[in-house]
Amino acid sequence: MDTAVDKAFIVLNSLERVRNGRPLADISTDTGIPKPTVHRLLATMERHGYVQQLPSGRYALGMRVVALGLFAAGSSTLLSVGRPILDRLVLECAETVHLGILQGESLLYVDRREPEDAAVRLAALPSPLTSLHASASGKVLLAFGDDQLFQKVVAAGLTRYTSHTITEAVGLRDEIASIQAQGYAVNEQERFIGVRAVGFPIWHRSGSLIGAISAAGPIQRVDNRKLDELKVLLLKAAGEISQGLM
């Protein structure tokens, strides 16, 4: 007989097999566990950060699962160094902040902080994985990663998420050149309408690119003046994380 712990892992495995989350009924059908039991398990795991409920009502894996995977893979140093800096950064900038790394040809958000007192908050992402070409951190990883990564991303197709998304290789190449020159990337509603973001690279002492840090908020708050403030705060935070990794 499966225990509650067994059933919790069965539910997590069900969520792991899909990318954009699953409705409660689908999880119950997939696992063979009654809906009331699935609901209780999801509520418990959501409280602890292992599951998140998306605006669509679907359930997806939470950031704590990602963090455990990184720890097992030996990437816990970035998380441990970045965690207190993210805690401070979200208070300083009063916008949602992310820590991200390259995962294959996608951006994997490994940690996230949201301002507690913001009148408007960003919706949770449907997955910790997102496209490189349509996010500030992702474009940073493209700009400062190797050229083979750029070629692979372009070959896979540049999905259009909004009317602002860059979907042509030439346009993305021009954007990458600008990011390389200025040292940071800005996302102008390229993934979600109404959301503006800025991201900076995180470097290891060896000179290798470790990840990216970003801040995002609604365009009515993140005007040009606020964007300039975020650049200063993020540049400092990225430097502190890099120093902590040495």
Q: Is residue 117 included in any domain, yes or no?
A: yes
The total domain count for the chain is 2
For residue 116, give every residue at least 6 positions away whose Cβ sits within 8 Å of its Cβ, in sequence order, or none.
Answer: none
Cα separation, 118 vs 195, whole angstroms: 14
Q: Is residue 66 included in any domain, yes or no?
A: no
∠ CA(109), CA(111), CA(116), 5° rounding? 120
Residue 41 sits in a domain whose CATH number is 1.10.10.10
Q: Is residue 148 included in any domain, yes or no?
A: yes
Q: Do 51 and 120 reside in the same domain of the chain? A: no
Q: Is residue 68 included in any domain, yes or no?
A: no
What's residue 148's pLDDT?
A: 84
Q: Which residues of the chain have pLDDT under 70?
A: 1, 19, 55, 63-64, 66-76, 118-128, 205-206, 246
Q: Is residue 69 included in any domain, yes or no?
A: no
Q: Do 31 and 97 reside in the same domain of the chain? A: no
Q: Is residue 102 included in any domain, yes or no?
A: yes
3-state secondary structure 2-58: CCHHHHHHHHHHHHHCCCCCECHHHHHHHHCCCHHHHHHHHHHHHHCCCEEECCCCC
What's residue 56's pLDDT?
A: 76
Domain extent, residue 102, equals: 74-244
Residue closest to 59 by CA, chosen among 19, 31, 99, 97: 19
Three-state DSSP at 195 gives strand
What's residue 208's pLDDT?
A: 73
Q: What is the pTM of this model?
A: 0.72
Cα separation, 122 vs 101, whole angstroms: 20
Residue owning tokens 């996230």: 112
What's residue 161's pLDDT?
A: 95
Residue 237 sits in a domain whose CATH number is 3.30.450.40
What's residue 70's pLDDT?
A: 57
Q: Do 92 and 210 reside in the same domain of the chain? A: yes
Q: Is residue 179 included in any domain, yes or no?
A: yes
Q: Is residue 229 included in any domain, yes or no?
A: yes
Q: Do 82 and 15 reside in the same domain of the chain? A: no
Q: Do 104 and 50 reside in the same domain of the chain? A: no
Q: Which residues are registered as beta bridge partners of 109?
A: 100
Q: How many residues does the chain have?
A: 246
